[in-house]
Amino acid sequence: MTQQVSSDTLQVRYAPITNGFPILETEQLSTTLNAALQGGEPTKDFFSQLNQTAIFWQDIAAGTLSFVDGHDSAGQPIVMASSGNINMRILAEWSGRPFTPDTPIGTIFVELGNTETKVQQLLAASIMLDSQPPAGTIDEPFFNSLRPTLYAGFADLLKGIAGQLASMASTEDPSIDPQTAIVSIITTASQKTISALGSLASWGLKKVLADFNEMAFSLGVVAPLMAVPLVFEYLSHPMFLSVMVINKSNRTIDLTPLDQIHGKASVNWPASSLPVPAEVPGNASGTLTGTLLQTALSQYINSNTYGAIGLVLSCTGTAESPIRDVISVPWSGDNTIWAGASNEDAATIWESHSGSPHQLTYHTDAQNLQIDMAISALNGTTDDRYWYGVLIVIS
């Protein structure tokens, strides 16, 4: 940190462990994704459950839902918030290692779960000290005293993000860039001191200054989950398209909107690449174990009342034959999804594949990868809106 602080202010810094805010691969998740990839009603249900996060984040932003103290199954102190089928909890664990300036004093976990879809997401970050307390020893009692202040700071940050994104979505013509929005919010939060809670006075501390700047990417991946459902409340654009990509493969997936043929993004992609699956870091008190899958979520709207939505995505591949995805949602007629390897330009790919096939699912094998696509409907309305969801799973 470059900010000058007084000796009674502890400087804490968070360093990301997880890449983004990945989802936990479980048997229940596999069942959920297999159903969602059937197309039609199961796909609609999958995206409808994702949209239930709107209630959770609106309540967080408004302050009508607060984090409360609790304990996990191992007896560790946590803070948690719950609304409907959405549950979030924050857990900070002591490292158990002697303090050095380059050694984390602990790990903070943020877990977000949906009890209907069984989608569980995990964000993990190392807790570093950029300064030392004026008195006392940095040990487990110190960490236990610091924990309430860490929880308060992280909860306030999440509330600030939710509030800012709610404000950005509350417009008739939303255009949200998650990373840009998150960087602005985090920069502001990292310049604010937090009053020390608990018994930190025993270490000569009155305030804590938490640096979240390194968490911008991870928290940026969360942003679309907050913003996408909120956009639905503003109906100047009668057509919506939500697209989620999940990487189950053993390769990093480069994700690029090759061309926006029709319409525009109301919520941009939060990341340009989806890393390979990784193991759950640490043990999160033993509550979560397994493999973490990287995901990305975006939303598109039509540009005018009678406009269509159409895009060509580049998902991965070699320069000679990259993988492309086509999604076409016309104003009239049936929707189209397609995927395949092609080195042609976006206009040519669109011309060749945007008109057919009209089917709820699409599967192809390319570059030793399997690409599965599913769309919630070929035409008509969903929940009284022209809203469609497309799920893309690469394995």
Residue 284, pLDDT score: 52
pLDDT digits (tens, 9 = 90+) for 243-278: 999 999 988 898 889 999 999 888 888 778 888 898
- List C-alpha distances in Å: 158 to 44, 154, 186, 371: 28, 6, 10, 34
pLDDT higher than 90, residue 359: yes
Terminal CA-to-CA distance of the chain, rounded, Å? 41
pLDDT higher than 70, residue 184: yes
pLDDT digits (tens, 9 = 90+) for 198-235: 789 999 999 999 999 999 888 888 878 777 766 655 54
Q: What is the pTM of this model?
A: 0.91
pLDDT higher than 90, residue 75: no
pLDDT digits (tens, 9 = 90+) for 98-121: 888 889 999 999 998 888 888 888
From the CB of residue 279, how many other CB atoms can be counted at a distance below 10 Å?
Answer: 9
Residue written as tokens 């690409």? 371
Residue 361, pLDDT score: 98
Residue 231, pLDDT score: 63
Mean pLDDT in the chain? 87
pLDDT digits (tens, 9 = 90+) for 281-310: 765 555 667 799 999 988 898 887 778 999
pLDDT digits (tens, 9 = 90+) for 134-145: 988 899 999 999
Residue 1, pLDDT score: 45
DSSP track, 241-257: EEEEEEE-SSS-EE-EE
Residue 181, pLDDT score: 81
Q: Comparing 346 with 165, which gets the higher pLDDT?
A: 346
Residue 322, pLDDT score: 86
Q: What contacts 24+ positions apart, CB below 8 Å, involve 97-104?
A: 99/129, 99/132, 99/138, 99/139, 101/129, 104/15, 104/128
b/e for 99-136, b at 16 or more Cβ within 10 A?
beeeebbbbbbbbbbbebbbbbbbbbbbbbbebebeee
- Which element (helix H / strand E) includes 350? helix 346-353
Give the pLDDT mean for 148-159.
Answer: 92
- All CATH 2.60.270.50 domain ranges in the chain, comma separated: 234-394
141 CB-contact burial (10 Å; exposed 0-12 / middle 13-18 / buried 19+): middle
Q: Which fold has domain 234-394?
A: Mutm (Fpg) Protein; Chain: A, domain 2 (2.60.270)
b/e for 52-66, b at 16 or more Cβ within 10 A?
bbbebbbbbbeeebe
Is residue 3 very low, low, confident or very high in pLDDT (cuts 50, 70, 90)? Answer: low
pLDDT higher than 60, residue 178: yes
Residue 318, pLDDT score: 56
Q: Comparing 316 with 378, which gets the higher pLDDT?
A: 378
